[in-house]
Amino acid sequence: MRNKKTSYTKFAFLVSTFFLLFFGCQPNPDEENLKGKALIYLNESALVTDTYPVPGTFNSTKNYTYIKSENKIKIPLTIYRSGLQELESFSVSISQTNEVLNGTLKLPSESYLLPKIVDIVQGTREKQIDLFLIVDSLKAHKDIHYSIVLTLSNPTKYTLDESLKTIKIDINVPELLKNEGLYYSWDLVFEDNFDGNTINTTIWGTYYSAGHAGNGLRRPEAFSVLNGNLVITAQMKDGQLVSGGMAHRKNYKYGRFEFRVRTEKDPSEAVSGVVLTWPQSEQWPLDGENDIYETGTKADRESFSTYIHYGDGLGDSYNKQYHFLHQFPAYEWQTIIMDWTTESIKIYRDGNIVWELTDKKAIPQVPHHLCLQLDALKKIIGDPVKMYVDWVRIYQQK
**For the chain, what is the largest distance between any 2 Cα atoms, rounded to a whole number of angstroms?**
134
Do the bridges between strand 217-218 and strand 334-340 make them parallel or antiparallel, or are there none, so unpaired?
unpaired
Burial class (CB in 10 A: 0-12, 13-18, 19+), 107: buried
Check pLDDT > 70 for residue 194: yes
So what's the pLDDT on residue 9? 42
Peptide bond just before 55 cis, omega within 30 deg: yes
CA dihedral over 379, 382, 387, 388, signed as positive or negative: positive
Residue type, 279: P
- Rounded mean pLDDT, 153-173: 93
What is the per-residue pLDDT across 18-37, written as a single tens digit (0 to 9) for each? 333 333 334 333 344 444 46
So what's the pLDDT on residue 260? 98
Dist. CA 366–CA 363, nearest whole Å: 9
Name 129's Cβ contacts closer than 8 Å, sequence gap at least 6: 76, 77, 78, 79, 94, 114, 115, 118
State the pLDDT confidence band at 351, using cuts at 50, 70 and 90: confident
Name 177's Cβ contacts closer than 8 Å, sequence gap at least 6: 135, 138, 139, 142, 183
- Rounded mean pLDDT, 236-252: 98
Q: What is the DSSP letter of 110?
A: G
So what's the pLDDT on residue 143? 93
- Report helix, strand or coil for 242: strand
Dist. CA 370–CA 384, nearest whole Å: 25
So what's the pLDDT on residue 25? 39
| C-alpha neighbours within 13 Å on the C-beta side of residue 60 | 0
Q: Within 10 A of 18 (CB to CB), how many other CB atoms are there? A: 10
So what's the pLDDT on residue 46? 63
So what's the pLDDT on residue 382? 97
Dist. CA 50–CA 47, nearest whole Å: 9
Closest by CA position to 202, among listed 165, 250, 240: 250
Average pLDDT, the chain: 88
What domains appear along the chain, each with residue ranges and CATH number?
32-179 (2.60.40.1740), 186-397 (2.60.120.200)
So what's the pLDDT on residue 185? 85
Check pLDDT > 60 for residue 38: yes
Burial 126-139 (b: 16+ CB within 10 A, else e): ebeeebebbbeebe
Dist. CA 282–CA 278, nearest whole Å: 7
Dist. CA 102–CA 107, nearest whole Å: 13
Pick the range with the lowest mean pLDDT from 185-189, 316-320, 325-329.
Answer: 316-320
Check pLDDT > 90 for residue 318: no
Q: Is-contact 261 275, C-beta < 8 A?
A: yes
Check pLDDT > 90 for residue 50: no
